[in-house]
Every structure is written in structure tokens, then in C-alpha cells.
């Protein structure tokens, strides 16, 4: 490790154009088995290949402590950069080892931390803006809106904050309930039950204009409740965020569930690779969080 | 000189009076043999002595003082120690540790004081002349005989004061070879010389005749007699045990005309067996003798094909056997293994199933479907032939006596209509009455024209039953001698013929 | 000859693994820093495997250690959220481990349920309680006191290499203490020798008047406390707790004990042999990662190596019994 570093150092000092060997980058995640993570890694690997890097993807099968262990290992091995896909708060021990060895760590939708040089992610605020504004416009700026939020989980909490602000800015929109569903089974079942209770409490058609959900599962639950109550004809607008496959299907079928927001996982991966490249080239990094644009999904593009 | 008096002990289990007013005096400094068939009450008596069972009537007194009943701790404190036929050794621990199983390890600062542990064990071993055993060796390295000696020595560890004085030994030689038994007898002699008493329970008549100073016979839970050895003998003991006079344990052969050669073994080498040769004729009983580890059992298993032959061949009716045990059974070889419990019987299953096990194929309807009725028919037929005593053929084998379990295995072996019967220790752990019946059965089968190869460690049975005896030494079939006119001593000498010293197995 | 292969074959195999990495990773593998890393990485596994050895000595095993580790971590974290002090929270978590272990012991020893069934059931129970206690969430960030997370990052400094401090990790120290303790208990106290007696021949132990029931029951307390301690170490290392994070420890710990058993003379579990098993697994993870072997291929290799080691040992043993 030290030898190679020294050689690279000499090469740089001598003004040589290219390093002696390909850059080595380790991607470490406990979640590779999850579909989203696979897209990040694909996007990253594709760009890394263009850049001619040696990429080592390490999966610890859900074991977060093992992520620390593997960071220690690749630090010993002497990689040029490390990419993580896990909350940095949980792997502080590994981050400090990498920092001590002077190896940069880049987050791929990981979270912010002083020891993470750059975190590449989607903008949660922006995603909430997309759907809450969609709702406000669809109901013509007036009516009763039901919100499903989840403040205990920070990435979801920020979405609720934005929706509150957007709806609060329309004098004729009233948020009649702000529900935090029980998420222990994913959130669909409890959201549906809560929505059924609300529908029962507001029996007149038009008494509920829209349901804004901070992620897709409550939106699906609300849709099921509306269908079960036979009130799908009232034009209640439902939106979610994340655009998971079940949500896309509901949106594509053209019912009450009208919109959601998709993150561009592959682009996050590719942008992460670009960020690594910038760090390796010695660029001074000021922007510690890089946002990758998201995309509103409606019936028009849900099938793509 | 301590003395333990058992006074009119009685114990009833349901309808069975297992022990019926038995009185007995056990003294230090002598070997007291306890004889009786299975069910005579020996085990019940031993359990009461051990404090594991409470007698309904009677009392036990140590030097005149009553002992509490059903109290194992008190019996231990009274100086009794029990050596069981099953070896209860912990193989992974050292000899010294095994000697400390039932007592605290010596400790220093709360930790095991290994040096003292080993020294204490060595001292106890030395008291019995067992200096050759290293207390630090793992128990695994020792044979069954030495493991038993270690257990006996273990009773002497660190008990200079309240030393145990009465050893109750229940079939101690059941799992031992002749040589190992010899060493046990030496140790028993040493214990008695040092003032201990031994209550010795065994089915093996020669051992009792040789060791005992007095003999007590039980029958059907009742005390029959207690006599000094000088006033009794084999015939009298057997008569008292069975309640009938047995004119000799071994039935006479009815015809001494042997038939054609049916089994030929040529240069057979397999496992520990090296180049065995012999022929067996129809109606002949060939005994296989030798110390344990000499290849007795290996010879049988090699003939059966269970040990794969490295060289040589086995011919049955002139045709070579090459297909392993399955073909051997199919062609008419039948095998009764030594370890009834582990190799032979499915103990929890019915007699019927046990008998039918290797014959399920031929018994099945259309070659596929099990036919319980045919199985039951087979078991009944063969059960009658071997004089099996059981409440019902659906009884589980574990409920049967050792002798009847053995008969189940015979019934299984005979059910296929074999030409040659391979028997490994056919009377091991079987009481004298059942033993007699098994001898009669073997004789009857040979009279019917079966060839029998019988490996045994019991010299009287080898000499009393066999026509010829094959002597095994170090895996070789050393010689074949005619049984008639051969003495036990003469046979025993042949075990060690060449080098004159015993095998260290 | 077979005896020698059996006795030292396993050890030779382990040295071969080390040698292989030493040759392929000449600059990094045999450095003090790397071995300190490995020692820290395997510390939690070492604690679980060492205490697992205590019950495996008796021929039993405990499948619930993984979920107990998760539960203990979650219990401590939830107490941290309630602003309970670190020592109290740690004691409470270890207490949960002790209770869980004793419960396992009662089920196996007093009630007489097979260890496989009993501890499979408590695995589910402990895991369920961990979810209930934590609400199914990961507890991290400000809820976890900095001192608790810092423990796993710290340790006495023992030198400087390449201008970076060489630290003997606290987690390694904890594991060493546990292993020494278990070694003393198993090899140097009557209590431990009694456990070996039960494993060797429980009937003999019973007949010798050993309190088999109490011994078995109490031995499970070790695995319970060991698992809880490992759970706390894990929580400290990741400065967080979630209700499943320790689950993976159970299978690996049992694998480590089995690997160790291939090293001992008569195939008995021994704690130092277990430690060797743990180190082999740790070295494989560390070395194969450095050699950039794909994570999934790495898993296949580790499994194959366990099979080969245990298989060779079984074959060696069968060879021995054949000859006897």
C-alpha cells in the first residue's frame, strides 16, 4: 500500500500524465440484495468502467458491523476510494479508520457525515414539492386534504415539512388530518384502516378532495379504502412518493392514485462515480451533498 | 470387619413378587457370588442395596445398626460401591478425571490442582497393582477391561479413612475379553486381600466357580441356598437355579454324520483378518476362538461380505460370494450379530417387524406393498421354531429378556431358510436357562443340516457345542482343532501358542 | 500416520490459509495493523463462540444467541433513549442475557426439550421481543451516547506505524478477557470438567451422582450472557441498535466451534480450538476481501472450507475406528 502510494506520489510529482495503475474503488453495502441498491451499483459500475477503474463490490448481507470490518480490510489493502451505501452514523468506526489512512469515502444515497466527502442522493424536499404542488393544482387550490406522514424517520419527515408549507400557502386548502400510520407491516394495512375511518366520518361526496402521502404504501392503503367504500367516483386525488412497482401499476391503471415521484437510482450511481473521480483528481469539494434530479410519475409515463 | 445383614427383604411390583423374604449376610474379605436366572430377583436386590429401590418388607443392618432404606447416599456412606456391566466411562476425560467423577477434584485457589489429582489417582491405581496405567492418559486409549479397572480403582481415591469395603459387581465381565477378565480377577483378589468384600453377580459359571468363597442362589424371588464353595459346584448351582436337574448343559448330537462341504473359505483377508482358510460341512458346528482382537468377529463379518475382502474368496455350495451382505443373505448365509442392541434389534419395534426386517422384499405383495399378515405369519412360525417366549408378537423387543431378544435374532436369521448360520457370541448376556435353550436350538439346527460358524469368548460353550474349533491369533486363523477331548486349559493355551504372551488388545 | 494427519491436519490447513494470504498479500497481510483489525473484527464472534463452546462441551447447543445479541443491543439502546446511564443500561442488557440463558437452560434441562427445539423457539421469542422493544426501528444517532460508540473505536495505543497510531482495540481486549475466563472455567475448574463429563457420557455423569440437571441449566447462562455481551459490542461498534443486527452471529459461531473441534485430539470442543476456528473465519473474510474476491464467492469459499475441514476430520476418525 505504502509502496504504491509512494510510486503514485512520485508519478504525480514527476508530472506524468497517467497513474501507474488503474484506480481501485471499493463499494461496500449491506443491502445489495435489495433491488434499488442493485440499480445504484449498476449505474456506478457502468461509469467506473468508462473511467477504467477496478471496482470491488462487497456485500455484507445485512450485517452493518461487517461493513466496518470490510472498510478496515480495504483500507489495509490500500484502495484509492471507498463508496458506501449505509447510514454513516452506524459505521463511524470504519469512517475514522479510512480518514486516518487518508482514503476518501463517498456516500451513495448514504446520508451526511463530516467524514463522508460527498453524499449523492435524491432531494427529499424537491420530491415533496413535486407531489404537493401536483395535488394543489389538481384540486384547484381548494378543498380538504388528508396527509400521511412519518416524522420519526428523518428522510420522510422532510417531505411532510414541505407539504405542510405548500398546503399552508393556499388559503382554501384545509388539511383535515395528518396521520402517522403504524408501519410495522409496511404501512398499507394501517393506512387503509385509518382512511376507512376518515371516509366514514366524512360521508358527503366532495368532503375529501385529496390524499397526499409521504411515501407510496399509505397512498395504496388509502386507494384501497376508497375503493372498498365505493367512492372512487368522487375524484379524490391520491399521490405518493418513491414510485414503487405497486404504485406505478395503480397509477398506470388510471384510478384515483394519480402521481408519485421516482428517484433515478442508476443516475445516483453514475453521479457517485463522477464525484469519486473529482475527488481523485484532487478537486476541492465544497458541495457536500449532490442531488440527482427526480421524476414525476403520472399515468402518462408510469409504464416506462 | 464390617458385615452387612439383609433381613427378609421383600419387594412386589404389581402382581410379581420380585423379592420374597430374602436374607443374606455379606462380609468383608470374601467374594460372595449371587446366582439366579433372569427374573430371579438379582437386579431388585442390587437396586435395594444401592438405595435406588425401597423394599416393602425387611431391613438392612451394618454391624447391627439399621441403615435407612432407599437412600443412595447412606449406602455409599456405609461403604458400598457398585460396578455395573455397562461401562460408564467418560472417554474424553483422562483416567484420573474419570476416577474423580463422583468426588470433588482437588483444588488450589479454586482451580483444579492437576498435580494432586494425578497423584491421588496414581496412588489408588498402585494400591491395586495397576501402576502400568498412566492417570493422565485419555480414557479413550484404554480397552474396556482397563476402563473397568480404572473405575474400581476410582473407588479407592483419597479414602484412606472410610474406605469402601463392599463392591457389588453386576456382570462385570460381560464386555471383557478373556485376558481382561483375568486382570479383573487379579484385582478382585487384591481387593479381598486388602479386606474388602465382593458381591459378584455373573452368568458365567466358570468365573463363579473360580472366584467365589460363598454362593447364594435365588429363584423366583426366593432365597434357595447360601453355601460355601466347598459344598457346592456347577451341577448343584444349576439345579438350584433352574429348579430342575440338568444332565449337562450341552445337548448331545443326535447324529454325527456330517454332510457335504457347503462353505469354503480360501485365503480370505479383510479388515483385521489375514488369509483365513477352512471348509464347513453341512451339519457341522465350527467354533471360532481366540482372545478379543484376534479376529474372531472379523472372520464372520468377512464371510458375510460386510468387511470387503482384500484377497481370497468365500464359496457357498461351490459358487463364489461376491456381492456383499445382501447377496450373502439371499444365497443362504444368515448372521446373528454380537451387539444385539446396537447392531441387531430395533428395540422399540414389535417382534414381528424385527423378524421380518431383512425379508420384506419377498414378503411384500406384488413385490411392493408390505403385507403385515404375512409378516406376522413368518414371525409366528419362526418364533415357534426358536421357542420364543413373549406375551404377544406385537410386543416391543426392549420388553424381552436378553435370551428372548437373542431368539428374535435367531428367528430373523432362520426366516430366510439359510444354509449356513454365522453366530457372534450367541449367549452373551443371556441367563443360564435361556442359554441352555439356545444351545439346544443351535444343536437342533445343525442336526437339520445347517452349517454353523460360532464365534465365542465362552470356552465351555466352544468346547461343548463345536465339532471343531478354529483358533484365531493376531488376525490369522492359526489352527483348527477337534473339540472332542480338548480341555479349556488346552484351548486357552492355543490362544497364545506362538509367543506365549497375551495380546495387549 | 492417520493419527498424525488427524491431529495436525487441521492445524496445518489453518497455517496454509495464513501462508496463502501472506504470499498473495505480501505488503499488508502480515502487518500488526491488519492482525489488530482482524482481532477486532472477530471479537464479537469470539465471545459468542467461546460461550457457545460451554454448552457444546455438553453436547448441547444454543440457536438463540444471535437474536439474544440483537435483543441485548436493542435493550441497551432503548434505555439510552430513556437517558439511563451507560453502566446501568449495560448491566440491564447483560441481565436480559442471563435471564434468557437461564430460561433456555430450564427448557432444556428441567422441562427436557431438545436443545435444537427449545433454542429454536427462544430464537423466535427473543427476536420478537427485540422488535417489540425497539418498535422495529434502528436506534441510532443522538440517542446513543457518544461514549458508548467511542468505546468500540478506542483502545490503548501500543505504537506508531506510518505515522498512524497503532491501537489495541477495546473490543479485542473484551474478547480476550472472555476467552481467558471461559478457558479457566472449562479447563481449570471442577465445574467445567463436570460439563465435559456430561458431554462424554451423560449416563456416567448421572450415575456418578453429578447434578446433571443443574449443570446443564447453568451452562446455558454462559451463552445467554455471552450473546448479550456480543450484542453490546456490536451495538457499540455500529453506534446503533436494530432488532436483527446480531442474528448472523449464531451460525458463524457454531461453525467456528465445529472448525475448532477438528483440531482437538478426540473431536471435543475446546475454547482455544474454538478461538482458532474464529480466527480462521476472520482471516478468510479479511484476506479474501483484500484479494478482492467477490463477496458471494467469498461465502461459497468459506462454506467449502468448513466442509473440507470437518469432512477430512470425519474421514480421519472413521479411518481410526476401521482399524480398531
Do B24 and B111 lie in one domain? The reply is yes
Do B178 and B307 lie in one domain? The reply is no
Which of the other chains make 3 or more beta carbon contacts under 8 angstroms with chain A? C
Do B149 and B29 lie in one domain? The reply is yes
pLDDT confidence bin for C254, thresholds 50/70/90: very high
**Do the chains contact at B101 and C208, CB–CB below 8 Å?**
yes
Range of the domain at C294: 2-323
Q: What is the mean pLDDT of chain B?
A: 85
Number of domains in chain C: 1
Tally B–C CB contacts below 8 A. 56
* Residue A165 in contact with partner chain C when CB distance is under 8 A: no
Q: How many helices (H) and strands (E) does chain A have?
A: 10, 12
Number of domains in chain B: 2
Do B144 and B270 lie in one domain? The reply is no
Do B234 and B265 lie in one domain? The reply is no
Range of the domain at B40: 3-242
Work out the percent of chain C whose per-residue pLDDT is above 90: 71
Q: Which among A32, A60, A90 is the nearest to C239, CB-wise?
A: A90
Strand arrangement, sheet containing A54-59: A54-59, A24-29, A81-84, A105-108, A118-122, A289-292
**Domain end marker among B214, B242, B270:** B242
Instruction: Determine the distance in angstroms separating the CA of C124 from the nearest CA of chain A, rounded to an integer.
Output: 17
Question: Domains of chain A (ranges plus CATH)?
Answer: 2-116+265-292 (3.40.50.2300), 124-262 (3.40.50.2300)
**Do the chains contact at C290 and A76, CB–CB below 8 Å?**
yes
**Domain end marker among B242, B272, B302:** B242
Do B283 and B187 lie in one domain? The reply is no
**Do the chains contact at B105 and C201, CB–CB below 8 Å?**
no
Predicted pLDDT at A3: 43
Touch between B and A (at least 3 CB pairs under 8 Å): no
Positions of chain A with pLDDT lower than 50, given as ranges: 1-20
Q: What's the CATH code of the domain at B206?
A: 3.40.50.300
Predicted pLDDT at B253: 67
- What residues are paired with B59 via a beta bridge? B7
Instruction: Determine the distance in angstroms separating the CA of B137 from the nearest CA of chain C, rounded to an integer.
Output: 12
Predicted pLDDT at C322: 45
DSSP-derived secondary structure letter, C85: -
Touch between C and B (at least 3 CB pairs under 8 Å): yes
- pTM here is 0.76
* Residue C142 in contact with partner chain A when CB distance is under 8 A: no
Predicted pLDDT at B503: 41
Neighbouring residues of A139: CB distance < 8 A, sequence distance ≥ 6: A145, A173, A209, A210, A237
Do B75 and B211 lie in one domain? The reply is yes
Give contacts of C184 with chain B, Cβ < 8 Å.
Answer: 111
Do B215 and B313 lie in one domain? The reply is no
Instruction: Determine the distance in angstroms separating the CA of B94 from the nearest CA of chain C, rounded to an integer.
Output: 10
- With contact defined as beta carbons under 8 Å apart, do B229 and B214 qualify? yes
Bigger pLDDT: B86 vs C221: C221
**Do the chains contact at C184 and B138, CB–CB below 8 Å?**
no
Q: Which among C184, C200, C322 is the nearest to B91, CB-wise?
A: C200
Give contacts of A92 with chain C, Cβ < 8 Å.
Answer: 149, 153, 239
**Domain end marker among B242, B275, B305:** B242
**Do the chains contact at B93 and C196, CB–CB below 8 Å?**
yes
Predicted pLDDT at B37: 73
Do B87 and B33 lie in one domain? The reply is yes
Predicted pLDDT at C183: 96
The interface predicted TM-score (ipTM) is: 0.87
Instruction: Determine the distance in angstroms separating the CA of B134 from the nearest CA of chain C, rounded to an integer.
Output: 18
**Do the chains contact at B102 and C210, CB–CB below 8 Å?**
yes
Q: What's the CATH code of the domain at C225?
A: 1.10.3470
Q: Could you tell me if residue B410 is inside a domain?
A: no
Instruction: Determine the distance in angstroms separating the CA of B189 from the nearest CA of chain C, rounded to an integer.
Output: 25
Do B141 and B191 lie in one domain? The reply is yes
> What integer is the mean pLDDT of C295-304?
87
DSSP-derived secondary structure letter, B138: B
Nearest Cα residue in chain B from C205: B101
| Number of Cα atoms under 13 Å in the Cβ half of residue A274 | 11
**Do the chains contact at C140 and A54, CB–CB below 8 Å?**
no
* Range list of β-strands (E), chain C: 139-140, 157-161, 164-167, 240-241
Give contacts of C200 with chain B, Cβ < 8 Å.
Answer: 90-93
- Three-state SS letters, C186-241: HHHCHHHHHHHHHHHCHHHHHHCCCCHHHHHHHHHHHHHHHHHHHHHHHHHHHCEE
Do B286 and B432 lie in one domain? The reply is yes
Do B68 and B133 lie in one domain? The reply is yes
- Measured CA distances, A231 to A164, A211, B47, C289 (Å): 26, 13, 83, 57
pLDDT confidence bin for B501, thresholds 50/70/90: very low
B85-89, C166-170, C218-222: lowest mean pLDDT where?
Answer: B85-89
**Do the chains contact at C149 and A63, CB–CB below 8 Å?**
no
Amino acid at each position: 500500500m505504502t509502496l504504491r502510494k509512494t510510486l503514485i506520489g512520485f508519478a504525480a510529482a514527476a508530472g506524468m500524465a497517467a497513474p501507474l495503475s488503474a484506480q481501485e474503488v471499493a463499494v461496500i453495502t449491506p443491502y445489495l440484495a435489495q433491488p434499488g441498491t442493485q440499480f445504484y451499483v449498476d449505474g456506478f459500475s457502468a461509469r467506473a468502467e468508462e473511467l477504467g477503474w477496478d471496482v470491488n463490490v462487497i456485500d455484507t448481507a445485512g450485517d452493518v458491523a461487517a461493513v466496518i470490518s470490510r472498510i478496515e480490510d480495504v483500507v489495509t489493502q490500500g484502495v484509492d476510494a471507498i463508496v458506501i451505501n449505509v447510514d454513516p452514523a452506524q459505521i463511524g468506526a470504519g469512517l475514522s479508520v479510512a480518514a486516518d489512512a487518508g482514503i476518501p469515502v463517498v456516500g451513495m444515497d448514504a446520508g451526511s457525515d463530516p467524514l463522508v466527502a460527498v453524499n449523492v442522493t435524491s432531494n427529499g424536499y424537491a420530491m415533496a414539492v413535486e407531489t404537493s404542488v401536483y395535488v394543489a393544482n389538481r384540486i384547484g387550490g381548494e378543498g380538504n386534504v388528508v396527509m400521511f406522514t412519518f416524522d420519526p424517520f428523518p428522510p420522510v419527515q422532510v417531505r411532510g415539512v414541505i407539504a405542510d408549507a405548500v398546503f399552508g400557502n393556499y388559503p382554501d386548502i384545509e388539511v383535515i388530518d395528518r396521520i402517522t400510520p403504524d408501519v410495522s407491516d409496511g404501512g398499507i394495512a394501517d393506512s387503509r384502516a385509518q382512511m376507512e375511518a376518515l371516509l366514514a366520518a366524512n360521508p358527503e361526496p366532495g368532503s375529501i378532495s385529496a390524499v397526499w402521502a409521504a411515501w407510496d404504501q399509505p397512498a395504496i392503503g388509502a386507494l384501497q379504502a376508497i375503493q372498498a367504500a365505493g367512492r372512487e367516483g368522487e375524484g379524490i386525488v391520491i399521490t405518493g412518493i418513491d414510485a414503487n412497482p405497486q404504485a406505478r401499476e395503480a397509477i398506470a391503471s388510471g384510478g384515483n392514485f394519480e402521481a408519485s415521484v421516482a428517484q433515478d437510482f442508476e443516475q445516483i450511481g453514475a453521479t457517485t462515480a463522477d464525484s469519486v473521480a473529482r475527488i481523485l483528481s484532487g478537486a476541492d469539494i465544497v458541495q457536500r451533498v449532490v442531488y440527482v434530479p427526480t421524476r414525476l410519475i403520472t399515468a402518462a409515463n408510469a409504464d416506462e | 470387619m464390617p458385615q452387612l445383614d439383609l433381613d427378609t427383604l421383600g419387594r412386589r411390583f404389581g402382581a410379581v413378587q420380585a423379592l420374597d423374604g430374602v436374607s443374606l449376610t455379606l462380609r468383608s474379605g470374601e467374594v460372595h457370588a449371587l446366582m439366579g436366572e433372569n427374573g430371579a430377583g438379582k437386579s431388585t436386590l442390587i437396586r435395594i442395596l444401592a438405595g435406588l429401590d425401597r423394599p416393602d418388607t425387611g431391613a438392612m443392618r451394618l454391624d447391627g445398626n439399621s441403615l435407612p432404606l432407599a437412600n443412595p447416599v447412606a449406602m455409599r456412606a456405609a461403604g458400598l460401591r457398585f460396578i455395573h456391566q455397562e461401562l460408564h466411562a467418560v472417554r474424553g476425560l483422562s483416567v484420573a478425571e474419570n476416577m474423580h467423577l463422583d468426588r470433588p477434584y482437588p483444588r488450589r485457589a479454586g482451580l483444579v490442582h492437576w498435580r494432586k489429582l494425578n497423584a491421588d489417582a496414581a496412588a489408588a491405581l498402585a494400591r491395586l497393582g495397576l501402576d502400568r496405567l498412566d492417570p493422565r492418559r485419555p480414557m479413550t486409549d484404554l480397552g474396556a477391561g482397563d476402563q473397568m479397572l480404572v473405575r474400581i480403582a476410582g473407588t479407592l481415591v483419597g479414602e484412606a479413612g472410610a474406605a469402601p469395603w463392599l463392591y457389588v459387581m453386576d456382570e462385570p465381565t460381560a464386555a471383557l475379553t478373556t485376558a481382561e477378565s483375568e486382570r479383573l480377577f487379579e484385582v478382585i483378589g487384591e481387593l479381598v486381600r486388602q479386606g474388602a468384600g465382593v458381591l459378584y453377580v455373573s452368568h458365567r459359571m466358570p468365573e463363579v466357580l473360580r472366584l467365589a468363597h460363598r454362593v447364594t442362589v435365588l429363584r423366583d424371588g426366593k432365597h434357595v441356598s447360601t453355601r460355601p464353595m466347598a459344598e457346592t459346584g456347577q451341577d448343584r448351582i444349576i439345579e438350584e437355579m433352574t429348579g430342575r436337574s440338568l444332565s449337562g448343559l450341552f445337548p448331545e448330537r443326535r447324529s454325527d454324520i456330517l454332510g457335504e462341504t457347503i462353505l469354503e473359505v480360501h485365503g480370505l483377508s479383510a479388515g483385521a483378518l489375514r488369509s483365513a482358510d477352512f471348509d464347513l460341512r453341512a451339519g457341522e458346528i465350527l467354533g471360532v476362538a481366540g482372545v478379543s482382537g484376534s479376529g474372531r468377529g472379523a472372520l464372520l463379518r468377512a464371510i458375510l461380505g460386510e468387511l470387503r475382502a482384500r484377497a481370497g474368496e468365500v464359496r457357498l455350495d461351490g459358487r463364489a460370494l461376491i456381492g456383499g451382505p445382501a447377496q450373502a443373505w439371499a444365497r443362504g448365509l444368515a448372521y446373528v450379530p454380537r451387539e444385539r442392541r446396537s447392531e441387531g434389534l430395533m428395540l422399540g419395534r414389535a417382534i414381528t417387524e424385527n423378524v421380518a426386517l431383512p425379508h420384506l422384499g419377498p414378503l411384500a405383495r406384488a413385490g411392493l406393498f408390505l403385507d403385515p399378515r404375512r409378516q406376522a405369519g413368518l414371525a409366528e412360525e419362526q418364533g415357534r421354531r426358536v421357542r420364543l417366549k413373549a406375551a404377544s408378537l406385537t410386543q416391543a423387543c426392549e420388553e424381552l429378556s436378553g435370551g428372548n431378544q437373542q431368539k428374535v435374532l435367531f428367528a430373523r436369521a432362520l426366516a430366510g431358510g439359510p444354509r449356513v448360520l454365522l453366530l457372534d457370541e450367541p449367549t452373551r448376556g443371556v441367563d443360564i436357562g435361556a442359554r441352555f435353550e439356545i444351545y439346544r436350538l443351535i444343536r437342533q439346527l445343525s442336526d437339520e443340516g445347517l452349517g454353523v460358524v460360532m464365534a465365542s469368548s465362552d470356552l465351555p460353550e466352544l468346547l461343548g457345542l463345536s465339532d471343531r474349533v478354529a483358533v484365531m491369533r493376531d488376525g490369522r486363523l492359526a489352527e483348527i482343532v477337534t473339540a472332542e477331548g480338548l480341555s479349556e486349559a488346552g484351548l486357552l493355551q492355543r490362544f497364545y501358542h506362538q509367543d506365549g504372551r497375551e495380546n495387549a488388545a | 500416520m492417520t493419527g498424525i494427519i488427524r491431529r495436525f491436519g487441521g492445524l496445518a490447513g489453518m497455517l496454509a490459509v495464513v501462508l496463502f494470504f501472506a504470499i498473495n498479500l505480501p505488503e499488508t497481510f502480515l502487518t500488526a495493523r491488519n492482525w489488530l483489525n482482524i482481532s477486532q473484527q472477530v471479537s464479537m464472534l469470539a465471545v459468542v463462540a467461546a460461550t457457545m463452546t460451554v454448552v457444546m462441551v455438553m453436547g448441547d447447543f444454543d440457536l438463540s444467541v444471535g437474536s439474544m445479541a440483537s435483543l441485548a443491543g436493542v435493550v441497551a439502546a432503548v434505555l439510552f433513549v430513556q437517558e439511563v446511564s451507560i453502566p446501568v443500561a449495560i448491566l440491564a442488557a447483560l441481565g436480559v442475557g442471563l435471564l434468557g440463558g437461564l430460561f433456555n437452560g430450564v427448557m432444556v434441562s428441567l422441562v427436557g426439550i431438545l436443545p435444537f427445539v427449545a433454542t429454536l423457539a427462544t430464537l423466535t421469542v427473543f427476536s420478537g421481543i427485540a422488535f417489540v422493544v425497539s418498535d422495529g426501528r434502528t436506534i441510532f444517532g443522538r440517542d446513543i451516547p457518544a461514549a458508548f460508540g467511542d468505546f468500540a473505536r478506542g483502545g490503548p495505543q501500543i505504537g506508531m506505524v506510518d505515522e498512524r497510531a497503532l491501537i489495541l482495540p477495546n473490543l479485542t481486549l473484551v474478547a480476550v478477557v472472555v476467552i481467558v475466563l471461559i478457558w479457566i472455567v472449562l479447563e481449570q475448574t471442577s465445574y467445567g470438567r463436570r460439563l465435559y463429563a456430561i458431554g462424554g457420557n451423560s449416563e456416567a455423569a448421572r450415575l456418578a451422582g453429578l447434578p446433571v440437571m443443574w449443570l446443564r441449566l447453568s451452562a446455558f447462562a454462559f451463552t445467554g450472557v455471552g450473546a448479550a455481551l456480543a450484542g453490546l459490542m456490536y451495538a457499540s461498534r455500529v453506534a446503533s441498535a436494530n432488532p436483527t443486527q446480531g442474528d448472523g452471529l449464531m451460525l458463524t459461531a457454531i461453525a467456528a466451534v465445529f472448525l475448532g473441534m477438528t483440531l482437538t485430539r478426540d473431536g471435543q470442543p475446546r475454547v482455544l480450538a474454538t478461538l482458532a476456528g474464529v480466527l480462521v473465519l476472520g482471516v478468510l473474510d479479511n484476506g479474501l476481501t483484500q484479494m478482492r474476491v467477490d463477496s458471494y464467492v467469498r461465502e461459497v469459499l468459506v462454506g467449502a472450507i468448513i466442509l473440507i475441514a470437518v469432512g477430512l476430520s470425519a474421514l480421519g476418525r472413521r479411518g481410526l475406528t476401521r482399524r480398531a
